[in-house]
Amino acid sequence: MPTRATDARRAAVLGKPIAHSLSPVLHRAAYDELGLTKWSYERFEVDEAALPGFLGTLGPEWAGLSLTMPLKRAVIPLVDEISESAASVDAVNTVVLTEDGRRLGDNTDIPGMVAALREHGIEQVGSAAILGAGATASSALAALARICTGEVVAYVRSAERAAEMRHWGERLDVEVRTADWADAEQALHAPLVIATTPAGTTDALAAAVPERPTTLFDVLYHPWPTALAARWSMFGGAVVSGLDLLVHQAVLQVEQMTGHAPAPLDAMRRAGEKALAER
């Protein structure tokens, strides 16, 4: 049931480091738009060791938590139940705190990726490429499990990372082939390219963008645009940004924590864009 505007509730984002997080901006914008004047959303720097103690301090006024690194796996033993989406990648980025004291873990990154792609007209692809092999890459694979009908090629830097991606492919029932990062330029010819690497990692690939690029999903949002995204746009390709992902996953969090749906996507995006412009 949707929460009344007069109900004082709390939510927050946890992680370490956390000062950079845009989550407070997005969630507060949603509360303003929804008229939830008594709701607050904060950020707390919490690592794995401090997480159990932090959760133990939460009273009945708490509605939910957003989790970023390094807590997405550390929280799993501390919740009462996790969704199928979260279990599929062993990662929880959302904890909903129920009125009866239960902690429900979910992963909104995966459906957030699907929603961000759908917003840009990508409903289904025959194949795709992933740049990188970290935690975000496993979420990308889980998203592709819903929309990709064929092979996914993951470009990685080590045999260990290659093995990890093949493991996730088997677990998620996605056909995954791995390739060496030295050949990453080949990824840019795929119908959908998902870049999941840290800032600067794909800059050297910008010069290799083809004349008619398709769709690039770059999970970064600051600094933006990345060199790869800028070149992709210059050549007329479609670009989905990390802010698109951040907003769509936050929309799902707001809906789960407040009970109000749909959450105000446009207002949240405007708030995120304004905050990034001021950085």
Q: What is the pLDDT of residues 24-37, one digit of tens each?
A: 999 999 999 999 99
Nearest to 187 by CA among 199, 202, 167: 202
Does residue 240 contact residue 214 with C-beta atoms inside 8 Å? no
Q: Are strands 152-156 and 176-180 parallel, antiparallel or unpaired?
A: parallel
Does residue 243 contact residue 272 with C-beta atoms inside 8 Å? yes
What is the model's pLDDT at position 178? 98
Residue 59 scores a pLDDT above 90: yes
Exposure letters 170-185 (e unless 16+ CB within 10 A, then b): eebebebebeebeebe
What is the model's pLDDT at position 279? 85
Q: Are strands 103-106 and 94-97 parallel, antiparallel or unpaired?
A: antiparallel
How many beta carbons lie within 10 A of that of residue 210, not counting itself? 12
What is the model's pLDDT at position 142? 97
Confidence of residue 134 (pLDDT cuts 50, 70, 90): confident
Tokens of 26: 């997005």
Does residue 214 contact residue 193 with C-beta atoms inside 8 Å? yes
Give the list of residues 6+ apart from residue 7 with CB closer than 8 angstroms, or none: 38, 39
Catalytic residue among 16, 38, 72, 274: 72
Does residue 273 contact residue 242 with C-beta atoms inside 8 Å? no
Active site residue 72: yes
- Per DSSP (E only), the strands in 79-224 are 81-82, 94-97, 103-106, 128-131, 152-156, 176-180, 192-195, 215-218
Q: What is the pLDDT of residues 209-235, one digit of tens each?
A: 999 999 999 999 998 999 999 999 999
Average pLDDT, the chain: 96
Q: What is the pLDDT of residues 69-125, one digit of tens each?
A: 999 999 999 999 999 999 999 999 999 999 999 999 999 999 999 999 999 999 999
Q: State how far the alpha carbon of 112 is from the alpha carbons of 198, 218, 243, 244, 250, in Å.
A: 19, 14, 11, 8, 8
**What is the average pLDDT across 43-52?**
98
Nearest to 186 by CA among 171, 205, 170: 205
Sheet holding 176-180, edge to edge: 176-180, 152-156, 128-131, 192-195, 215-218, 238-240
Residue 190 scores a pLDDT above 90: yes
Give the list of residues 6+ apart from residue 48 with CB closer than 8 angstroms, or none: 70, 71, 74
Nearest to 66 by CA among 88, 29, 41, 38: 41
Confidence of residue 5 (pLDDT cuts 50, 70, 90): very low
- Cα separation, 119 vs 160, whole angstroms: 34
The angle subtended at Cα 232 by Cα 224 and Cα 151, nearest 5°, is: 110
Does residue 187 contact residue 153 with C-beta atoms inside 8 Å? yes
Confidence of residue 13 (pLDDT cuts 50, 70, 90): very high
Give the list of residues 6+ apart from residue 62 with CB closer than 8 angstroms, or none: 9, 10, 11, 97
